[in-house]
Amino acid sequence: MTTFPAHPFGTEITTADIIDSMKSCRSWEDKYRLIIQLGKRLPSLEESLKSKSIPVSGCESNVWLIWKNDNNSYQFAADSDARIVKGLLALILAASEGKTQEELMAFNFEKYFEEMYLLDHLSPSRNNGIRAIIDQIKHI
């Protein structure tokens, strides 16, 4: 039996923690390293869960996103074959984990990423991928 993977994002590592860490970075390279380090804290999905993931169109990398609803609170797990995308998934999960559908719809992901000064440094394809992942989460 496959268990739903636990991760620290949204519980132990909050959006406020991530924003503070990003603001303390002195350069884009520091932020890039931090994103990759956060991605390493996201457990890899087992193949059986990858096959159950919802498709995320708009991403150039492979992305697997699964979720479950527990008493109107959503838990997410995600994985990617690209290190930076996996780190970006961790940032998204920190903002999504444990929220209700209403909270997910109300959360301003654009502002969240602006507070980290990330959107200007990511390629257009990564920005499109982030938006596609967020759209999937908001419309589960």
Residue 97 near residue 6 (C-beta atoms within 8 A): no
Catalytic residues, which ones?
59
User: How far is 83 from 102, CA to CA, in rounded Å?
Assistant: 30
Q: How far apart are CA 93 and CA 70, in angstroms?
A: 16
Of 108, 84, 114, 79, the C-alpha closest to 96 is: 108
Buried-state track 61-70, b at ≥16 Cβ within 10 A, e below 16: bebbbbbeee
